[in-house]
Chains A and B, each alone.
Chain A
């Protein structure tokens, strides 16, 4: 077998050196009764050619997604990724290595974590950054648990405009901890501040808000943080569309205590939902309660700059059941992906792309409204996703768009059941579109 280099002859030699006459002697600790006495019942080995043909055939049962630009976002955004990033990620040194436990042989990964931490710190204006939790939803769950450790309180307020998968995940993470979870209602595309004021009390550990929220709306985090802080609760800001950070005010300027952000928009393909990556960003004084890995700068014995994983005394391999989290393997390769992406985009690129996303979304909305087939139902500030009502049949809208090779927007009713959002769709627009395409979309939907 091409992945198993030792020959039968070599294996015989090795068994002889070990001092056994057969391989089975090495298995004497396994009781006979539980041993498998037959071959595994799976298909026989395929040659590489047969294999490739088989899997390509399966792949072709998917739509040709490359040629279908998505008007669908809802937590997974198709952005343009420069080839330089994809090419650099091919370097085996980045993807065939392990977690950087041995800093002398892992400076590439460690420095990359540190640089990504620095980028995210500047984008969020938060002091410290945990570069990798699996995805935005699990990061939100970890952030909620972190707020419990920091406050020792037992109530969490969760905006109903947090991505439904994220809300479910937060619930799952909190389920064993006897926490009261209260849903904060929304009105006109944003959370209801007056309701929040009533729900908040001294027992509240944290308020979790997504901004831009699931409908794309930009929440008033300053006002929310003032309310939360009056009751000594923490404000956790969930960012699902990180591209928004290019033009929007930073959470650090708005009184946010912990940011849980999906980094998918920073250089990750859609990949049918994963792997993505997420970061947590927070204040320096919370460093001993953060979950996961963090890189720090130090010196080697000659005084040379070096990077290591640090504040390790929180982690599972040292603290076991008293660890701040069970995080071990994370999504470090995606950290490198984002680091390269952000380096390529730079100060101006991120600003311009972010601005373009917002402009194009507003352009599309205004053009759609001109057709009279659409109706504005929310008056809210949004970034690159907006909710709109289609006056016709949603199934027709989907078919029209699919026929022209556009992936249709999300039908909101699938996540927010009830009559309120009948015929309502959530459009996402990113820089991958151009004016001609947006005009064509408007045209076919007229």
Chain B
């Protein structure tokens, strides 16, 4: 499709200027040619109609949750309720300046304060910081909190244990926090190998980062032992909340002994992913870690009956961003929790677990599961059996697009010998049995095609706006801006 730059016609405009342009003020009287550019920045010249049509057309090249099943594993692509959006765009919230005085922002602070209480009850933690902007940002924040805790206690701990099934953000975040990453192998059940953990866990180790259920979709049956092993050596347990959608009202990370928790509000808590954010990766901690939270947190002065932003004090890790958090995401989360209440939160997890196990039961004949056992809210199948037909998991994923379904997560998790050529499927509670049945039938059909007509998979997708992309060319001959493209044409 044409770029907006290629639709630019000199003399067109889509802006409107106020009548008074302060012509009496000559900016040259204040700023010299040292500061002022002598040329205008060349952007584009298009009309408002051009813009509307350009972006409407672009939007149609995207596939969203409203278009159908979006079964990306560990991403929780559930329905994003409309009322959440409306509440987040109330004008008192949208136009609130973050540095306004406390008495002007009591509503915003109340949302943050009350949300903290709700999240604490849902996860059995003692205090949340609303600052982190994403899951990975939360992981970094959590790691820095743990780091600060040990510095404060005069302990030098430098290693972080991370299972091989963990999201890539876990090791990357631990590395950003200055830790050496030690990988813990999964056992034949797909969960943490307790002996490896025991051997690795020592008094130079910060602790363990764990996703539960893990990325293969399995609850760690050794969670009690894991907790004992880590805590016995004085370590801390970190909970990656990417998969919390399997746990609402069923198991709370705080009860299982986790010390630090991050929640992806854009996963479990129904706020939209926005094509890769903004979300929020709030961090909850147990009491002993509260002093290290990023500053500030919201507190309530019961004498003055007033909410206020409280500095977390000298032990705090400091700030991890400007201002207080991705506020509109917090409003959506708050709205969602109140619309569900305790019964429906539980139903959310119950339904998503039934959905995932249903798909597993129906498809395991066709796509060998990485581990053949009941799963949490997502199941991990593999495309290994199709190698003999020259078919890779990627081809299966691309073929799904022809049937109008977004592919699941592929090639993740990856660890030999169990999790290879993986297809990680997460069917959230907002997808009905009919939707799942349709997906199952299509997957079975593709399995059949792979054996009888592999060519149709290899050349897929066929009906999308573009076909399979040349990712190597993108690196070999990088075109990263429109001017790069113009230059490459000139050559």
Contacts and interface: CB of A to CB of B under 8 A. Distances in A.
A30 B15 contact: no
B456 interface: no
Contact of B1 (A27, A176, A305): A305
B431 to A, nearest CB: 7
Nearest to A264: B322
B263 interface: no
A52 B255 CA distance: 33
A76 interface: yes
Contacts of B108: 62, 272
B275 A97 contact: yes
Given A58-B107, A123-B41, A350-B41, A434 B133 contact: no
Interface string B223-267: 110000000000000000000000011111001100000001010
B430 interface: yes
Interface string A152-182: 0000000000010110110111011100000
B30 A431 contact: no
A109 B335 contact: no
Interface string A198-224: 000000000000000000001010100
Contact of A99 (B93, B276, B320): B276
Contact of B134 (A27, A65, A134): A134
A26 B357 contact: yes
A336 B275 CA distance: 9
Contact of B97 (A173, A176, A270, A362): A270
B34 interface: yes
Interface in B5-24: 5, 8, 12-18, 20-22
A42 B121 contact: yes
A346 B56 contact: no
Contacts of B59: 88, 91, 93-94, 108
Contacts of B34: 220, 222, 249
B348 interface: yes
Contacts of A376: none
B358 A300 contact: no
B278 to A, nearest CB: 3
A45 B276 contact: no
Interface string A250-278: 10010000000010000001111111110
Nearest to B122: A40
Contacts of A3: 78-79, 81, 270, 339-340, 344, 429-430
B346 interface: yes
A235 interface: no
Nearest to A211: B35
Given A43-B338, A63-B100, A346-B13, A250 B274 contact: no
Interface string A51-73: 11011101111111110101010
Contacts of A18: 354, 357-358, 360-361, 374
Interface string A279-302: 000001001000001111111111
Given A42-B121, A121-B481, A272-B96, A55 B331 contact: yes
A356 B30 contact: no
B486 to A, nearest CB: 10
A76 B98 contact: yes
Interface residues of B, number: 200
Given A348-B15, A350-B41, A248 B36 contact: yes
A62 to B, nearest CB: 4
B470 A345 contact: no
Interface string A7-39: 000110111011110010111111101111001
A196 to B, nearest CB: 18
Interface string A313-346: 0011111111101111111111010011011111
Interface in A71-88: 72, 74-76, 78, 82, 84, 87-88
A62 B374 contact: no
Contact of A316 (B136, B249, B343): B136
Nearest to A54: B338
A271 B168 contact: no
B321 interface: yes
A404 interface: no
A274 B325 CA distance: 6
A115 interface: yes
A72 B97 contact: yes
Interface stretch (B169-177, B193-201, B381-389): B169-177
A59 B90 contact: yes
B339 A46 contact: yes
A403 interface: no
Interface in B299-353: 317-329, 331, 334-335, 337-348, 350-351, 353
Given A60-B92, A331-B278, A317 B27 contact: no
A246 interface: yes
A9 B21 CA distance: 67
Interface in B99-133: 99-101, 104-108, 110-111, 118, 121-122, 133
Given A115-B4, A360-B22, A349 B277 contact: no
A310 B27 contact: no
B62 A108 contact: yes
A351 B94 CA distance: 26
B444 interface: no
A106 interface: yes
A34 B224 contact: yes
B18, B224, B343, B348: residue with the most chain A Cβ atoms closer than 10 Å: B18
Contact of B335 (A41, A51, A117): A51
Contacts of A392: none
A100 B275 contact: yes
A55 B335 contact: yes
A330 B61 CA distance: 20
B340 A299 contact: no
Nearest to B340: A45
Contacts of A102: 397, 401, 406-407
B97 A76 contact: yes
Interface stretch (B42-50, B283-291, B416-424, B445-453): B42-50
B208 interface: no
B432 A10 contact: yes
Contacts of A301: 459, 467-470
A64 B91 CA distance: 8
A112 interface: yes
Contacts of B20: 434-435
A175 B205 CA distance: 19
Nearest to A332: B276
A368 B377 CA distance: 62
A75 B275 CA distance: 25
A314 B475 CA distance: 12
B471 interface: yes
B319 A43 contact: no
A360 B317 CA distance: 40
A97 B266 CA distance: 11
Interface string B417-444: 0000000000001111100000000000
A158 B102 CA distance: 30
B64 A92 contact: yes
A344 B12 CA distance: 10
A160 to B, nearest CB: 16
Nearest to A360: B22
A302 B470 CA distance: 10
Nearest to A293: B276
Given A33-B224, A58-B111, A122-B483, A326 B43 contact: no
10 contacts: A4-B347, A42-B122, A62-B105, A63-B105, A96-B272, A127-B481, A176-B177, A271-B96, A272-B105, A347-B45
Given A45-B341, A62-B104, A381-B30, 10 more contacts: A4-B348, A36-B250, A62-B93, A97-B274, A105-B63, A106-B62, A172-B294, A176-B177, A277-B278, A349-B17
Q: Please provide the 5 A-B residue pairs with the shortest distance between their CB atoms, ordered closest to farther.
A: A273-B323, A176-B178, A333-B274, A45-B341, A349-B15
